[in-house]
Every structure is written in C-alpha cells, then in structure tokens.
C-alpha cells in the first residue's frame, strides 16, 4: 500500500511539473508585450526598465530556470499590473471564497444527486425515474452560467441577492441568503452527474445474486438498501467525485464573475485579460495542484474502501 501511495505522489509531482513547463513556455510565446498591455502606452525607457526588473530581457530558458528556483522556495511571483502584490497574498485572500463556494456546491450536488439516483433506481420505469433521467440530461447539457442567469432572473433581487458574498459580520441566515444562488448554480452539473452514475450503480448492484439471497432471508427493503445496496453502489462514485471537487473547489470562473464573488476563479480571468504572467502562472499551477491532489486522494481512498482493489495492490 505504501508503494502504491508513493507511486501516486511521484506521478502527481511529474504531472504538475509538465503542466507548469507547458504553461510557462506557451504563455511566453504569445505575441505582444505584457508591459504595453494596459490602456496607457508606457514610454520606451520605462518599459525597458520594467522588463529588466521582471527579467523579461533575459532568454526564455534563463527565465524558466529562475521561475523553478523561486517556485521551490515558495515564491510564486509578483504581479506586473499591481507592483508589490504577490501571488501568495492573492491566493491567501481569495481562496476562502472559492473554497466555500466549491465545498458547498460539492456537498449540495452530492447529497441531492445521490438521493435522486437511488430513488430513480429503486423506482425504475416509473414517472420518478423518467423525471430523474430528464433532469440529469438537462443538468449535464446546459452550462452552469445559463442556470445562474435563470436563477438570478427568477429568484434574485428579493430574498436572495443577485450579487455579493459573505462578510465576517453576517449571521448564518444572511450567509445562506447570499450563497444560495451561486451554490445551486455551481452544484447543478455535479448533481446531474452523481444522479446518473448512482442510478446505474444501484441498478447494477440490485441485479447481483447476493441481493436475491438477502430477500430470501426475509430482509426488508430498507435493510437490503442500508446493508447491501448503498455500501456496494457508493464505491464507484468515489472515482467521479475527484474531478468534480477539483474543478469546483478551485473556482467556478463564470459563476464567480456573474455573482461578483471575490474568488480565485474571477481573479484568474482578470489576470488572463491583463496578461499578468506571474499571476497566470501562479493560479494555473495552484489550480492544477488542487485538481491532481484530489484525484490522488480519491485513488488512495478507493483502494482503502474497496477490499478487492486493496488486495490487488498487495500482490
């Protein structure tokens, strides 16, 4: 098991290095000058001094090695557009908003999605099953920002604010009001995915022989669901939770912009538009690290939960 975990962590480091390298070189090959990207054209002397300050006058290979050295020291760089503002400070201040939105969306999507999937499988070929399938198709097909716009139009402006985010002086009811619409908007896609996979997983478990054996022993439907169906059908869902967590927790770019949430996703878009190279690199590497780490953790958790996988790894 230790060898398996070590291998996964090694793959994680290699993957992160590949992403970091590819992002660095592709970003620096974009035509144009990041020093002259603002609305005001800087004098040539000022632009040259700034290029020298940020090391943009050096060959790309030298800049790459310098970036790797600073990264290993924990220095993710300083903003071009806002001198004095470091990427470490941006991540520290803006991560809580993205993290709160992401975790709430994952929890809401997971609970409701699994519940819908279980009910649809247990009531197969009934109106409940057809409604669940329809909702899953709509949730997967329609982008989250469309749902966000519909929620803002139909529910926003009254009890639920259209824009804004929580502050420290807010109580629990106020925090619920502010976060309800963006959380639901970000959770709909995951909700549809979980319900669809859970339905298929439960149906697969119900077709096994040990379910018939449990029924022949006189166990009630509730006992069969609790003891056998849920335990065995929830395991495959672990494999799809990882990309969902990694994708949502790191920031839903469009959702954060639509609801004016001061998160990392919104700042990432602003950095790309402003060609703020250090911030683009820092947020890209950070997002990638979170995404890869979530997949590694879920792989390890899958081996812990499923004895068959664990037994295979021990060989």
> Which domains are present in the chain?
87-314 (1.10.3720.10)
Confidence of residue 137 (pLDDT cuts 50, 70, 90): confident
pLDDT exceeds cutoff 60 at 315: no
**Alpha helices per DSSP H over the chain:** 2-28, 44-54, 60-72, 87-122, 127-141, 144-154, 172-206, 209-216, 221-224, 230-233, 238-249, 253-258, 264-273, 277-305, 307-314
Give percent of the chain above pLDDT 90. Answer: 0
The Cα–Cα gap between 222 and 216 comes to: 14
At 308 the pLDDT is 64
Interval 197-228: pLDDT, tens: 888 888 888 777 777 777 777 777 777 777 77
pLDDT exceeds cutoff 80 at 260: yes
Interval 46-84: pLDDT, tens: 667 766 776 777 788 888 888 888 888 888 888 777 777
At 309 the pLDDT is 62
Higher pLDDT, 49 or 187: 187
**Average pLDDT of every residue of the chain:** 79
């Amino acid at each position: 098991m230790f060898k398996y975990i070590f291998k996964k962590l090694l793959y994680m480091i290699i993957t992160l290095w590949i992403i970091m390298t590819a992002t660095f070189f592709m970003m620096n090959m974009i035509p144009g000058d990041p020093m002259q990207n603002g609305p005001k054209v800087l004098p040539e002397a000022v632009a040259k001094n700034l290029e020298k300050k940020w090391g943009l006058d050096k060959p790309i290979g030298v800049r790459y090695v310098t970036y790797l050295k600073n990264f290993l020291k924990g220095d993710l760089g300083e903003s071009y557009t806002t001198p004095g503002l470091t990427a470490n400070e941006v991540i520290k201040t803006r991560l809580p908003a993205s993290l709160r939105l992401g975790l709430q969306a994952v929890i809401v999507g997971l609970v409701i999605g699994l519940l819908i999937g279980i009910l649809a499988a247990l009531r197969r070929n009934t109106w409940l099953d057809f409604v669940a399938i329809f909702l899953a198709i709509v949730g997967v097909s329609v982008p989250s920002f469309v749902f966000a716009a519909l929620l803002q139009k139909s529910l926003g402006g009254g009890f639920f604010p259209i824009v804004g985010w929580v502050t420290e002086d807010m109580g629990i009811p106020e925090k619920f009001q502010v976060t309800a619409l963006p959380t639901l908007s970000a959770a709909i896609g995951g909700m549809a995915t979980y319900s669809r996979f859970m339905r298929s997983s439960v149906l697969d478990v119900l077709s096994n022989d040990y379910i018939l054996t449990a029924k022949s022993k006189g166990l009630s439907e509730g006992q069969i669901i609790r003891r056998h169906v849920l335990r065995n059908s929830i395991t495959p869902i672990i494999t799809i939770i990882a990309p969902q967590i990694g994708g949502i927790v790191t920031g839903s770019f469009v959702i954060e912009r639509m609801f004016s949430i001061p998160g990392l996703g919104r700042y990432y878009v602003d950095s790309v538009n402003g060609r703020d190279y250090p911030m683009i690199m820092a947020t890209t590497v950070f997002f990638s690290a979170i995404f890869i780490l979530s997949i590694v953790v879920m792989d390890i958790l899958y081996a812990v939960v499923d004895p068959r996988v664990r037994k295979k790894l021990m060989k």
